[in-house]
Structure 1
Amino acid sequence: MTDKTKPEVEPYDGGEPTELVTIDIEEGTGEAATAGATVDVHYLGVDFESGEEFDSSWSRGQSVNFPLKQLIAGWQEGIPGMKVGGRRQLIVPPALAYGPAGSGHRLSGRTLIFVIDLMGVS
Structure 2
Amino acid sequence: MNVGEWAGLVAAAGSILGGGGWFVSRATRDAARATAAATEAAARANAAPAQQQASLAVLEATVKRVDEENGSLRGKMSRLEAVLRAFAWTTDRWSQQMHRAGIEPEPPHPLVEEYNRTGV
By percentage of residues, which structure has more strand? Answer: 1
TM tier relative to shorter chain:
under 0.3
Name the TM-score, length of structure 1 as normaliser: 0.15
Higher relative contact order (CA 8 A, sep 6+): 1
Structure (1 or 2) with the greater helix fraction: 2
